[in-house]
Each structure stands twice: as C-alpha cells, then as structure tokens.
Amino acid sequence: MKRFLFPLGVFIALLLFLGIGLRLNPREIPSPFIGKAAPAFSLTQLHEADKSIAPQDMLGKVWLLNVWASWCVSCRQEHPVLMDFSTQGVVPIIGLNYKDDREEGLKWLRQFGNPYQLSAFDAKGKVGIDYGVYGVPETFVIDKRGVIRYKHIGPVTPEVIAEKLLPLIKELNRA
C-alpha cells in the first residue's frame, strides 16, 4: 500500500499544476517592466525622419505605446479597434513601428488609417527588445511619470479597452 502513495501523490500534484495552468490567460503574462520606468529611447518618427520621439517627450501625460508592423497579421485585426479608440481622444497613442521597412509602414497607415499621434521607427527592433516585446502587437500603458503600468500582449479588442485600458487610464489621469 505504501508503495502506491508516492506515485499517487505525484499524480495529484501534477493534476493541480495542470488545472492551475489551464486557468491562466496567456495574454496576461507578467512583465518585469510593470511598475518600472519605461526604457529610454530616442527614435526617428516614421512620418518625419528628421524628427525624433522619446518617452520623456510624453512626461506629464498618460499614454499608450502600441507596437505594430506592416507585416503583422494580428495588427490588421487590431487596427480598426485602435482607429475607433483614437477618435475618442481619451489618451495619446504612440506607435512603435517594429522591425519594419519605413515605406511599408507608411503605405500600411495610408491604406488602413493612422490611429497614432505619431509613430517611432524601430527598424532594427532594439527598442522593442528593451521593452520585452517578443511578438506584435503589444500595447503598454505608461503613466504621467513615465512608469509602465500595464502590458497587453496580442490585439487590443473593444473588451480590453472597456475592461482594462479605460479604467486604468481614468485612474492614472486622476493621480
């Protein structure tokens, strides 16, 4: 009887871990950047290569950093949602055009519309790496002091905006 207790205990422990794992949302992967200052950068703007953008330019504002690319299929799914959200004027949306070709990025925005106040051009993906991006699209909520407060992996949906982004943005704007 005793020789069956150990395998039974291991089996039950594995079932518990499996059950817990199946309840987790893969889009809510904990990020080590939450609660920390957004990594500094200075990149040229996608539309105006002679101008740059840096996170310190946004100090004093709550803003979104949306990582996107013209080659990204999921970005196309997310894009109409961002277009609609940008018309509400709730928060500035800054794009980070990630590992893309400048002309392709510009063409994509002309074709589908531009929800961004402006887009930074990250051709080599270094800034994306600094932010822990491992797939596009990804969206960060950054507070008035330049601290990352939320990271969403995958396409932003109307539900994500209503349930996660808007309440957080309103709370951060009150602070």
Tokens for 153, please give them: 């992996």
Answer yes or no: are the C-beta atoms of 68 and 96 closer than 8 Å. yes
Q: Which phi and psi (to 5°) does residue 172 adopt?
A: -70, -35
CA pseudo-torsion sign 126, 131, 132, 134: negative
Residue 48 CB: number of other CB atoms within 10 A? 11
> For the ranges 2-16, 43-57, 159-173, which has the lowest average pLDDT?
2-16
Q: How far apart are the C-alpha atoms of 158 and 162, rounded to whole Å?
A: 6
Residue 159: name the closest of 171, 170, 167, 149 by CA. Answer: 167
**3-state DSSP assignment of residue 29:** coil
pLDDT digits (tens, 9 = 90+) for 10-67: 667 666 656 665 555 554 555 678 999 999 999 999 999 999 999 999 999 999 999 9
Class assignment of domain 27-174?
A: alpha beta
Looking at residue 153, its pLDDT comes to: 95
Nearest to 118 by CA among 62, 67, 45: 45
| pLDDT > 90: percent of the chain | 79
Nearest to 43 by CA among 100, 114, 109, 108: 100
> What span, in angstroms and rounded, lies between the C-alpha atoms of 44 and 19?
46
Beta bridge partners of 153: 138
Whole-structure pTM value = 0.83
Distance of CA 169 to the CA centre of its chain: 14
* DSSP per-residue letters across 34-61: TTSBPPP--EEBSS-TT-EE-GGGGTTS
pLDDT in tens, 67-90: 999 999 999 999 999 999 999 999
Residue 105: phi, psi to the nearest 5? -60, -45
